[in-house]
Amino acid sequence: MKQSKELFGFTCCRWLWTSSGDRASAAVAVTGCARAHLGYGRWELCSFLLARAVLAVKQRVLARSVNANGAAEGNIYLFLCHAKKRGGDTCEYLLSSGRFLGEKVWQPHSCMMHKYKNSEAKNCLIDKHVVFIGDSRIRQLFYSFIKLINPQVKEEGIKHGNIPFEDKSASIKVDFLWYPEVNGSMRQRIKSWTEGSVAKPHIIVVGAATWSIKIHNGSNEALAQYKINITSIAPLLEKLAISSDVYWVLQDPVYEDMLSENRKMITNEKIDAYNEAAVRILNSSSRNSKAKVKVFSVSKLIAQETIMKSADGLHLPESSRDTNAMILMNVYCNKIMKPIDGSCCQPQPPLTLIQKIAFCFFTLSIIGYLIISLIHRNNYRKNKSCTDLESGEEKKPAISTPNISTLEMLLQCFCKLGLIMTYFYLCDRANLFMKENKFYTHSSFFIPIVYILVLGVFYTENTKETKVLNREQTDEWKGWMQLVILIYHISGASTFLPVYMHIRVLVAAYLFQTGYGHFSYFWIKGDFGVYRVCQVLFRLNFLVVVLCIVMDRPYQFYYFVPLVTVWFMIIYATLAVWPQIVQKKANGNCLWHFGLLLKLICLLTCIYFLSYSQGAFEKIFSFWPLSKCFELNGNVYEWWFRWKLDRYVVFHGMLFAFIYLALQKRQMISEGKGDPLFSNRVSNVLLFISIVSFLTYSIWASSCKNKTECNELHPSVSVVQILAFILIRNIPGYVRSVYSSFFAWFGKISLELFICQYHIWLAADTKGILVLIPGYPMFNVLVSTFIFVCVAHEISQITNDLAQIVVPKDNSTLLKRLLCIAGFFSGLHFFSAMQDQSRH
C-alpha cells in the first residue's frame, strides 16, 4: 500500500507539471506531493520529488532558452541573482514593461499596480498642476487622466485647441496644450517654464510625432528636423525634471489596414524610427544631467495588444487609454499615498525602532545558540572516547549526550524563528522579491479544488475513534477548508460572489469549531484554571504578536486571530462565571441543564444587542488597552464588521456541543464503528434533509447578486450548511469511521498556514502574489508553496516548544512568567509610543 501511495504521489507530481499552467494548480501539486510522504515522515523522499520537479523544469527552461537564444543558460538562474535584477527602480518596469492578464487587466513587470479611486486621486493631486502637451493621442490620455479625478467629465473640448480642467474642491489644475508637432512653438512653451519665477507644473506629459509624419508625407527630411527639434528641447525638459516629473510618451503603433486615406503615410515603420530617435536623444542627453526625463514606453506594449479594437486605426480604445492613465497615476502617487497593493514606485519602508530591537534580539539569540552549541559539541567530543593508558583499550563515556537545557531550547527556538522572520521580512517588506497582481479565472480556482479532493480521498485511513467530530475528523475538516481558502486567496476568487459566499461559510465553520471545541472541553473537564487559558492564548497569538513586531502591522490586521481569541474569552467567561455548571455537576441534577441554557440565552442576548448597536460595541473596544489591539486605521469599524459577520456561529457551536453531549450521555446516539448515528429510518430522513439543506444553501449563495445583502443574511443562515455537512459526514457509520490523513496533516497547522500566507505565499499583505522566480509562474508557485508549507510546519513546532517553556504547569512559575510577559508588553507599548511620536 505504501509503495502504491509513493508511486501515486510521484506520478501526480509529474502529471501536474505537464498538465497544469496556472498558479493555484502548481500550489496544489507541491502540497499534494509533499503530503503524500510527509504524513509518513518521509521528508527525504519529499525533497527528492521536489528535486526531480526542479530538474524537469530546468530541462524545459534550458530547451526553451536554447531555442530562443541559442545558448545553454536558462532564465531559471535568475533566481540566483534575484536581488541584482530586482535592484532597479520599479518605476522603470512600470513605465516600460508588462503584460495583460486576460483582456483588460494590465500586469507591470515585477510589481503591483493600484487601482485608484476618485477620492484617492484627489488626495494625491491636491494643490497640483498637471500639463499634457501634444496631439490628439495625448488629448485622449488627458481625458482618461481627469476622469480618474472626476468621472463625470465629458470629452467636449475643442479638438485642435487648449483644454483646461480644474477641480476647485482639491485645488487641482490639469491642462491640455495643443502642440501636435515637436517644433519651435512647443520649445518656446516649455522654455517659458524654465525662466524667471514662473510657476512650474508638477507633472508634465509630452509626446508628438504622427502629425509630422502626416503633414510631411513621411519624408526623411521631416524625421531629420524632428531629431533636431528634440535635441533642442531635451535640455529644457531635463531642467524641468529637477523639480517636476517629466514624461515623454512614445508613439503607439497604428493599425494600418484601418487608417483613412489621408493617414496612410503613418506607418509603423515610420513610428518606430521616430521613437528610436526620441529615445536615443533623451537617453544620451540625460547621461550628463542630474535629472532624467522618464520615457513612457509601456503604452506601445498596450497598443500592440489592443490597437485592432481602434475605431480609426490611429487612436487607442478607451480601455487602453484608461490603463495608461492609471499607470501615470501609479508612477506619481504610489510614493505619496503608499497603497498596500501598489508596490510599483514605492521605496522600501525604513526600519522602525521596534523592528531594530527585534533584529538585535534575534541576532543575539542566534549568536547565543551557536556559542552554547559549540560548547556542548566540544564537551561531547572530549567525552566521546577515552583511551585506557594501561590496557590501550577504548572506553565508552559513562554519560550519554546531555539533554538539551531549557535555555538552549529557548535559544534554538528563537534562532530558527529569527531566520524565518528574516525570510518574512525579505519577502514582503524589503524590495528584494517581485510581486504581481492576482487575476481570477474559473479554472484557476476549480481545477485545484478537484486536485485536492482526489488527493484527499486517496489518503483515506481508519480513525482511532468513531465519535462525532473526533480529533482526526476535525483536523481533516480544518485541513481541507484551509486548502480551499488558500486556493481562494491566491486565485483572487473573492471577485466571484458565489465562491465568496461559500468561503464565508468555511470561515464560519472554523468559528463553529471554536465554540464546539472549547465548550466541550470546559463542560467535560471542568478545568477553568489559568494554565489552560494561558496555553490557548499563547498558541493562538504567539505568531501574530511576532509578526506585528517584525512586519510593523497592527494586531487587528490579522483579523482571524483576534476573532478566535475574543470568542475563546467569551466562552470561558460564560462558563466560568458563577455558577460554574459542568457535566459532572449537571449529571447529579437536571436543573443545572436549564441553568446552562439560561447562560447561553444571556450570551445570545448580548450578541444580538451588540450586533445592532455599533456605538456600544465601539465604546467597549475603544478603551485603552483594547483600542491598541482592535483599532485599524484609527478606528474599530473593521473589527466590528468582522465580528458582526459571524456573530452567531460560535453560539451555534456551543449549543450543538451541549445537545450532542447530552444525547451522548443518555445513549440516544450510536457511535460504534460502522453503525449509523441513529436508527436506519431516522438516519435516512436526517441524511435526506441534510443533503437538501446543503444544496439549498449552495443554490442561494450561487444566486447572490449583492454582497452587502448576502452578508446581512449570512450570520443567520451559515449554520444551515455547517450542520448539514456535520450530519452528512457523521450519520453513515462507514463515513464516520474513516478520515483523510492528507487533509488532517494540513489541519494540524491550519492556523500557521492561514497567518503565514499573508507574507510568504501571497504578497503585499495578501493583495498580490509573491514572485521568487520571475517568468515561470507555475514553477514559482511550486517553490514558494513548498517553502511556505515547510515554514508553517516549523513555526507550529516552535510554538509548541515555546508553549511548554513560557506556560509551565506550576502556578508559582507561571505567575512569574506572566509578570515577565506583562513587562514585555509594557515595554512594547512604551517603544510603540516613542515610534508613533517620532512619526508624527
For the chain, how many residues are written? 840
438-463 tens-digit pLDDT: 999 999 999 999 999 999 999 999 99
pLDDT at 151 over 70: yes
Choosing from 315, 502, 714, 759, the catalytic residue is 315
Q: What is the CA radius of gyration of the chain?
A: 32
Q: Please provide residue 769's backbone torsions phi and psi, each rounded to the nearest 5 degrees.
A: -125, 135
664-703 tens-digit pLDDT: 999 999 999 889 999 999 999 999 999 999 999 999 999 9
Identify the bridge partners of residue 174 per DSSP, sorted by sequence position.
Answer: 130, 165
Average pLDDT over residues 526-554: 96
pLDDT at 124 over 90: yes
How far, in Å, are 205, 577, 647 from residue 653 at the CA level? 60, 19, 11
Average pLDDT over residues 180-197: 92
Cα 497 off chain centre by: 19
Residues 466 and 134: beta-carbon distance below 8 Å: no
pLDDT for residue 89: 67
C-alpha cell at 423: 525570510
Average pLDDT over residues 534-548: 97
pLDDT for residue 388: 44
Average pLDDT over residues 822-836: 91
Collapsed DSSP state (helix, strand, coil) of residue 525: helix
Give the long-range contacts of residues 633-638, CB within 8 A, separation 24 or more. 636/556, 638/556, 638/559
pLDDT for residue 62: 35
Residue with cell 450570520: 715
16-40 tens-digit pLDDT: 444 444 444 444 444 444 444 444 3
Q: Quick check: is 20 catalytic? A: no
Choosing from 89, 312, 810, 836, the catalytic residue is 312
pLDDT-derived band at 765 (thresholds 50, 70, 90) equals confident
Average pLDDT over residues 404-409: 86
Side-chain-side CA neighbours of residue 686 (13 Å)? 18
- CB atoms near residue 641 (< 10 Å): 12
Burial class (CB in 10 A: 0-12, 13-18, 19+), 56: middle
pLDDT for residue 833: 87
245-301 tens-digit pLDDT: 999 999 999 999 999 999 999 999 999 999 999 999 998 866 655 568 999 999 999
**Which of 32-46, 134-148, 216-230, 644-658 comes out lowest in average pLDDT?**
32-46
pLDDT for residue 82: 52
pLDDT for residue 76: 39
pTM over 0.75: yes
Q: Quick check: is 109 catalytic? A: no
Choosing from 65, 97, 136, 443, the catalytic residue is 136
DSSP 466-519: -STT-HHHHHHHHHHHHHHHHHHHHHTGGGSHHHHHHHHHHHHHHHHHHHHHHH
Mean pLDDT is highest, among 157-161, 278-282, 398-402, 403-407, for 278-282
**Mean pLDDT of the residues in the chain:** 87
Q: Quick check: is 312 catalytic? A: yes
